[in-house]
Structure 1
Amino acid sequence: MIQLTATELLAAYARGELSPVDVMQAVLAHAAAREGELHALCAVDVDGALAAARASEARWRAGTALPLDGVPVTLKENIAVPGVAYRLGTAATATDATADFEAPPAARLREAGAIAWARTTMPDYGMLSSGLSSLYAEPARNPWHPAMTPGGSSAGAAAAAAAGYGPLHLGTDIGGSIRLPAGWCGLVGLKPSHGRVPIKPAYAGRVAGPLTRTVADAALMLAALARPDARDVTQLPPGDVRPRPLDLKGLRLGLMLDAGWGESAQAEVAAAVTAAAHAFERAGAIVEPLAGFTTRTMADGIDRFWRMRSWLDISALPPERRARVLPYILDWVAPAASYDGSTVFHGYSQMQALREAANTACEPFDFVLSPVSPMPAYPAHQASPLHDPARPFEHIAFTLPFNMSEQPALALNAGYTAPGLPIGLQVIGRRFDDAGVLALGAVWEQLRPAQRGWPF
């Protein structure tokens, strides 16, 4: 049962072939067997999950099932649920910290009947592309190669998804935190258009979105998540997010293999993404090169702004709690203590500069293809590929622009390295065209070579 997608589970429930109770029990047992190795979960609600599964079973029998009724889902630890631990992946939070509100994504999934049975691990404040954290004894591991990171900051969500802890997993993304782990774990990870999925707290670039094993499941989850919530003042008007039929003939695709800054794409990564572009070309699309448009000034400015934002939060903590923050994060934010107002304002202004550059560069194309990351997954105990707080973001050059530009971006598996690690392909659409990137992702699932079996 653990290998079934959400789409398959719902069909089996409708036919009376499976019960949500049996599925939930199977997922709980499988997760318990794998957690000693993968460290994907920070909380599991066994009793609540089984009670929800029994209620779902009753609705299916009564013919009153909800859109995601009985489908297991995990929530990243920074998705607030009332009365549940809310420690943001860091030991610096109070040991009894809980949320006093329900974040919109959690509410939408609950209303759709999904069973939120576990919460997934993340790094301190979600500010790393790994699962390294001061709060958990061990970082999350990549099921394809447990010595490696699954990515982050939606680290546990990606590990859980690739390892078969149910079909649906919710992450968040402000610079690549859904797409990077999706790419490094062979998953489908959608960073929706900004405002497509209401979220709280909301701020520049931050979105919530699905991590799944298929595009169909990502689309199914997005349909539930994209319902309105007035608490997010950046929300978009309701719209149809279902993937539409897509004719590749004459479709214009940009191919970006150099982001303009950061680490260069490694040979295996560039080859896999180029092969994907050629497959689209053979199917009728027109593929043209797209030069990198992000500058070092943009990247460094945004880095400084984020450092200051995090420094303000961390410096406000009592000294004994501040000392519990992951040392890498403390080293990263330390320079912000000497920033002046003009430095911070210039950094903030680079968000708008990057937004304009990204939308202008992508406008001539229906979609843009790129690597998700310039390299495959790296060792689990490193905070980033370089493990250098002075150069923390050299690996997010392909993902960061589309948080700032508010465009939808989808990560999918493009292939594997020689040792067997997944390589991520990113599909970027024009603003608001979430349905389009899902549609092109579904086409890629048909075009790409046969995939290796999941590391369940």
Structure 2
Amino acid sequence: MHKPRTEEAVTSLHDLSAVDLIAGYRAKQFSPSEVLEDLLAHVAVWEPQLKALYAFDPDGARAAAKASTARWSGGEPSGPLDGVPVTIKDNIATKGTPVPLGAASVKLVPAEKDAPPAARLREAGAILFAKTTMPDYGMLSSGLSSFHALARNPWDLTKNPGGSSAGAGAAGAAGYGPLHLGTDIGGSIRLPAGWCGLVGLKPSFGRVPIDPPYVGRVAGPMTRTVDDCALMMSVIAKPDRRDGMSLPADTINWKALEKSPRKLRIGLMLDLGVGQPLEKPVREVAVKAAKAFESAGAVVTEVDGILTREMLDGLDNFWRARMWDDLSKLTPDEQAKVLPYIFKWGESGAKLSGVDVIRGFNQTMAIRAAAKTLFCELDYLISPTAPNVNYPAEFASPVNDPMKPFEHICYTVPWNMSENPAIAINGGYDAKGFPIGVQIVGRRFDDIGVLGMAKAFESLRGPQRPWPSPPKK
């Protein structure tokens, strides 16, 4: 039976971690149906302000929670996430739901089947109650979209949650359950995680099978705790033959998170010499994180950035051309529906020569080479997640200029191209209490090590502020 809960002394059901939910179900302290009802009531209060969700399905979720409750009652859960609420980003297909990619120009055709990470979550018993919003084609670090309503940051509703996993970031910070699935091709998990105070893992490329796959593109968890991030990875990292770029099956023990920083060689990457200047509060949080690891016995050395202007502009040219390839196939009426910022950016790709585009793509190989050289000398790297503390909700990106679209991704995008695992975790706050993310990067395939370092940092970083509460009516 569900035990009485006092409002102040006990964590609300919707705020419990996935690890705690599973423990509570096992101990029969509460049921999946009770958790879902508490979550739905909470979402009803927050969502009019946040606009984090797409394809919200409370009735389907209630049916799934009822079945899960029956399984737990009989002592036969179906998997490691049975009864745990989860959201999945718009661009990860779920059977029967259209995949608009955040763009009003995309035809709404119900997906025929679950994409690999969505399939793994369902098989594990997770309850998908909604998908989350994203900007047009996932090519903005913003909650701005031509299809979805503007998503906002629960820490400050005038600010942007970041993107492109915008709704996932907002939902995680607002307490829409413990587990949220995002995607990342240049920072789209880590940036909103950093601006929303969450843990966001960009796994090694290929670690989590995805469909359709693409260079640098990964799916990964966005959670409030490292333990939940690891639990989610234990489910979504299972093999799927639909991804021809995925890694072979691995026997990673995702529970083995205890890791001492002692004697590890850690680089601290601050000023990059390219992109947006590093704001003082962000620098202070990153330096404090490095000092915390140093106090735990790590050998910390400041290192230079590896990204150059040529690399960033090359990526920009390559992605512009790739975007124009998609936009050019639309009818004039469909093109008119695309977010103007995205259309202006993509349209400029039409002017690039084939040599311009291949030079741009070749910068991905230059980034890989630079990362390889760096990690010959390092075990892990610490950096800011983003150079700025926050930016207005209505902006398409922190600079808000389609001719300078990627000035804010210089700390995150190298690790997509080099395939290294990288995690964002809250490192502190600015003077107004807004969260500031720290990024921890590891060698290729060392996903469990990156999680272990983030777990160690949870105990080193000091007390955290309470999560945001819904605005009072």
Q: TM-score, normalised by structure 2?
A: 0.95
Question: Matches of residues 275-354 of structure 1 in structure 2 within 5 Å?
Answer: 275-354=288-367
* Cα deviation digits, residues 323-348 of structure 1 (max 9, x gap): 10000001111211111111111111
Give every structure 1 segment of 4 or more consecutive aligned residues whose post-TM-superposition deviation is greater than 6 Å: none
Question: Matches of residues 100-179 of structure 1 in structure 2 within 5 Å?
Answer: 100-136=112-148, 138-179=149-190
Picking from 97, 104, 111, the partner of 1:99 is 111
Picking from 32, 46, 57, the partner of 1:34 is 46
Picking from 48, 51, 70, the partner of 2:63 is 51
Partner of 2:446: 433
Of 58-67 and 344-353, more deviation after overlay is shown by 58-67
Partner of 1:400: 413
Q: 1:359 & 1:34 partners in 2: Cα distance?
A: 44
Q: 1:338 & 1:263 partners in 2: Cα distance?
A: 26
Q: Secondary structure at the match of 1:249?
A: coil
Q: Classify 1:158/1:12 alpha carbon distance in 2 versus 1 (closer, same or farther; 3 Å).
A: same
* Partner AA of 2:38 in structure 1: A
Q: 1:211 & 1:29 partners in 2: Cα distance?
A: 22
Q: Secondary structure at the match of 2:292?
A: helix
Does residue 1:449 correspond to 2:462, yes or no?
A: yes
Question: Matches of residues 194-213 of structure 1 in structure 2 within 5 Å?
Answer: 194-213=205-224
Preserved contact between residue 219 and residue 241 of structure 1 (Cα < 8 Å): no
Deviation at 1:395, TM superposition (A): 0.4
Does residue 1:258 correspond to 2:294, yes or no?
A: no
Q: TM-score, normalised by structure 1?
A: 0.98
Partner of 1:183: 194
Q: Secondary structure at the match of 1:2?
A: helix
Preserved contact between residue 191 and residue 385 of structure 2 (Cα < 8 Å): yes
Does residue 1:233 correspond to 2:244, yes or no?
A: yes
What is the percentage of aligned positions where both structures have the same residue?
Answer: 56
Q: 1:434 & 1:258 partners in 2: Cα distance?
A: 25
Question: Matches of residues 344-383 of structure 1 in structure 2 within 5 Å?
Answer: 344-383=357-396
Preserved contact between residue 54 and residue 131 of structure 2 (Cα < 8 Å): yes
* Cα deviation digits, residues 304-327 of structure 1 (max 9, x gap): 010001101011001101110000
Q: Secondary structure at the match of 2:14?
A: coil
Of 99-108 and 150-159, more deviation after overlay is shown by 99-108
Deviation at 1:241, TM superposition (A): 4.9
Q: Secondary structure at the match of 2:117?
A: helix
Of 192-201 and 330-339, more deviation after overlay is shown by 330-339
* Cα deviation digits, residues 16-42 of structure 1 (max 9, x gap): 001000001111111111111000001
* Cα deviation digits, residues 200-237 of structure 1 (max 9, x gap): 00010000000000000000001000000011011112
* Cα deviation digits, residues 366-415 of structure 1 (max 9, x gap): 11000000001210100011100111100000000000000000000010
Q: 2:180 & 2:261 partners in 1: Cα distance?
A: 30
Does residue 1:385 correspond to 2:390, yes or no?
A: no
Of 328-337 and 207-216, more deviation after overlay is shown by 328-337
* Cα deviation digits, residues 274-314 of structure 1 (max 9, x gap): 01100111111110011011111111111101000110101
Q: 2:438 & 2:162 partners in 1: Cα distance?
A: 15
Deviation at 1:188, TM superposition (A): 0.2
* Partner AA of 2:66 in structure 1: R
Q: 1:97 & 1:303 partners in 2: Cα distance?
A: 30
Q: 1:64 & 1:225 partners in 2: Cα distance?
A: 21
Q: 2:74 & 2:273 partners in 1: Cα distance?
A: 57
Preserved contact between residue 241 and residue 434 of structure 1 (Cα < 8 Å): no
Deviation at 1:355, TM superposition (A): 1.3
* Cα deviation digits, residues 410-442 of structure 1 (max 9, x gap): 000010011221101000000000000100000
Kindly report the root-mean-square deviation, in angstroms, between the aligned alpha carbons of the 2 structures. 0.9
Q: 1:385 & 1:241 partners in 2: Cα distance?
A: 38
Preserved contact between residue 307 and residue 333 of structure 1 (Cα < 8 Å): yes
Preserved contact between residue 254 and residue 362 of structure 1 (Cα < 8 Å): no
Q: Secondary structure at the match of 1:323?
A: helix
Deviation at 1:245, TM superposition (A): 2.7
* Cα deviation digits, residues 234-284 of structure 1 (max 9, x gap): 111222052443122211100000234111211110011001100111111
Q: What stretches of structure 1 of length at least 5 have no aligned partner?
A: none
Q: 2:29 & 2:302 partners in 1: Cα distance?
A: 49
Partner of 2:204: 193
Q: What stretches of structure 2 of length at least 5 have no aligned partner?
A: 1-12
Q: 1:244 & 1:23 partners in 2: Cα distance?
A: 27
Q: 1:355 & 1:92 partners in 2: Cα distance?
A: 34
Q: Secondary structure at the match of 2:219?
A: strand
